[in-house]
Chains A and B, each alone.
Chain A
């Protein structure tokens, strides 16, 4: 058998799940869709002593509209369910656009939104998308519920603000402010493979046509989702023109310190980030 032995727990409620995680401490792990955790266990890179299967927790599943057009998405909602949701297509086109980029259909049939956000793979699409959408994470632990703004959630490589005894229960996404447009761009070796680089962008236009606020988050070029802060600042108050876009793309590339690996060198990733930023912003020009 591939994974190392573990004790399997299938809680019937979120509270039970948290008790099991608390008891297990650092040796316990939550199992969501298993599409990142089980490969790691098959390689024995991960050897949790206690595995807490969230599969039975229907309360963590579903896409719920807020009155103002925002959405609350339960952590155990499948990638597939988000991909095919008419609510998501209507209210958050950026999220609908990104879903087919996440792995293959067979993986999206089991992988979950919460698992992807909690796993914090730097090549994952959802953290960057949630970042430009100003999402808020709902976290529950033994002491109750707290919320964490996405900009404070990612600490580094596979590391988040979640304590070992805490569960991500949902992600809450406010509606896009009036005058906003969004775009996603990515390059991968093959459809469904992890991104070599990618960018999610939201630009809010003021009434005079200038940029009121820009959000740009890059993936697969750092140790988590990377906000392009200088590029965002450089666009504010200006219109999107070839000139301002070129500047923003240059700042984006300049500020990155991407890793190099067998799939792409650091230099290539930095170059891609600039090209993809240009493409995304070009799509957002009025």
Chain B
């Protein structure tokens, strides 16, 4: 390979179309951050363990560090930037209310993981909540306030 191969990839992020030529080895996480300048998606471990890079692809939570940008061809992506409208999303508001974040590094990945979780479990118990965030590491909060925030968010969203 003398010249790096470039592959066309098109899809949407937070409702906006994108079309780019990228090197196939570009990770979706780096594509979002460096090419689309959506730096809300955080990068921690880059091997699938910490969950900071979680985004929604076609409505489901996935690790953007374990996807190549070219694999997002034709996909609808939602990042943390896509959650709030004019107001915070109820999950974000609940995190604010319950102090579900401190440094905020883990927060985008936790919020995006929770979106499909609360869609599928509108009234989760504590055990289910803890399992739902078991793939997201937080080094600040001790998880207690995150769990409280999820309970509050679920309650608000059921209204």
Contacts and interface: CB of A to CB of B under 8 A. Distances in A.
Interface of A: 1-8, 10, 31, 34-35, 38-39, 41-43, 49, 51, 53, 55, 80, 103-107, 109-110, 190-192
Contacts, number: 93
A2 B27 contact: yes
B62 interface: yes
Given A10-B70, A38-B68, A105-B132, 11 more contacts: A5-B1, A5-B23, A6-B25, A34-B68, A39-B47, A53-B71, A104-B51, A105-B117, A107-B48, A109-B62, A191-B134
B4 A35 contact: no
A190 B50 CA distance: 13
B134 A106 contact: no
Contact of A106 (B30, B62, B130, B131): B62
A45 to B, nearest CB: 10
Interface in B56-114: 57, 60-63, 65-68, 70-71, 113
16 contacts: A1-B23, A5-B4, A10-B70, A34-B71, A39-B46, A41-B25, A42-B46, A49-B1, A53-B70, A106-B62, A107-B48, A107-B66, A110-B63, A191-B130, A191-B134, A192-B134
Given A1-B30, A191-B134, A42 B65 contact: yes
B134 A42 contact: no
A106 B29 CA distance: 14
Given A6-B24, A8-B7, A104-B134, A43 B47 contact: yes
B67 to A, nearest CB: 6
Contacts of B135: 103-107, 192
**A-side interface mostly:** loop
Contacts of A5: 1, 4-5, 23, 25
B123 to A, nearest CB: 18
B61 A109 contact: yes
A107 B117 contact: no
B67 A110 contact: yes
A31 B68 CA distance: 10
Nearest to A49: B1
Nearest to B30: A1
A105 B61 contact: yes
B25 A38 contact: no
B36 interface: no
B25 A39 contact: no
Interface centre among B23, B60, B61, B71 (most CB of A within 10 A): B71
Which 6 pairs show the lowest CB-CB distances between chains A and B? A104-B135, A8-B24, A39-B47, A3-B25, A191-B134, A109-B60
B33 to A, nearest CB: 12
Nearest to A109: B60
B41 interface: no
Given A104-B134, A105-B135, A38 B66 contact: yes
B26 interface: yes
Interface in B119-159: 130-132, 134-135
Contacts of B68: 8, 31, 34, 38
A8 B7 CA distance: 8
B66 A35 contact: yes
Contacts of B57: 109
Contacts of B131: 191-192
Interface string B1-36: 100110100000000000000011111001000000
A34 B57 CA distance: 15
Contacts of B24: 6-8, 51
Nearest to A40: B47
A42 B65 CA distance: 9
Nearest to A39: B47
B70 A8 contact: yes
A106 B113 contact: yes
A23 B105 CA distance: 44
A1 B35 CA distance: 13
